Amino acid sequence: MLQIQESNDEELVLKLWVGQSFVTALRHVIHGEVETMAIEDIVFEKNESQESNEFLSHHISNIVLSCTNIDSFIYKKQCACDNYCQHCSALFHLNVQNEQKSNVTIYSRHLKALNKTVYVTHMDTPLFTLKPGARVDATLIARKGCGDIHAKWRPATVVGFRRDLKVQLHPSITAEQFQSVAKGCPTKVFEDIEDIQSSKCIYCQRCIKQAQDMQLPDLVTIQDVPDYWIFNLESTGSMLPSQIFLAALRIMENRLIKMSEVLT
């Protein structure tokens, strides 16, 4: 069972009815095996900035890239080329010069993509500063990878899950008691006495402590729902959260198919 609670370009929140081992495996696959593109090598022809080549390489290589056809690229170790080619790499050029009389900040939007299917996701990421007259010329090589190789290939910033909870009120609760319990809830679980929003509960237990302070420990109860999980995924922007989730499921499916073929 799968229920979508929230889905947009940045975040996906699902309610899943599966075992804990499944959601744990899903989290590991998303972090380590879903493929994306990232800048791996940078060749500087000229660097007149205040930063060293090594510093700029490390900083620029963490820029988030998006790719519309990741499956069309192969890994560098599988390619027969000497350095890079259209089958394993996508190139960017960085050619900037400060022609003003004051310092200028260079942003990720100044990177020029030679392959239209691979592009910079966030255009306003600051990279470095150039003094008047200074120039930087560099060729950036993006390649396919996954989080198990380096964190810069990870498609998600946050992948987490928690147990689904059921919050219940005692049938004899009064309106005054309800208001006392509700005022301490940070996630607005108790907005309506007739419609308790259990899915918003983060198990801070403030309502339970309030009930205990009122000498009414049975006023509020919070219980786990067996094998129901709230799964939260936040994307870096390289892929839509829904695409990341589906890619991870395909990886897990292919792995199970291979295991089945071996066993049979």
> Is residue 138 scored above 80 in pLDDT?
yes
Q: What is the pTM of this model?
A: 0.85
The two domains 2-32+157-233 and 36-153 share their CATH topology (first three levels equal): no
Q: What strands, in cross-sheet order, belong to the sheet with 36-47?
A: 36-47, 135-145, 89-97, 112-113
For domain 2-32+157-233, give the CATH number: 3.30.1360.10
pLDDT confidence tier of residue 264, bands split at 50, 70 and 90: confident
pLDDT 10s digits, 86-125: 999 999 999 999 999 999 999 999 999 999 999 999 999 9
For domain 36-153, give the CATH number: 2.170.120.12
Span 49-69, mean pLDDT? 95
Could you tell me the residue ranges of all domains in the chain? 2-32+157-233, 36-153
Under 8 Å between Cβ of 233 and 158:
yes
Instruction: Output the DSSP codes for 193-224.
Output: TTB--GGG-----HHHHHHHHTT-TTSEEEEE
Q: Chain-centre distance of CA 104, in angstroms? A: 31
Beta bridge partners, 16, equal 2, 229
> Is residue 1 scored above 80 in pLDDT?
no
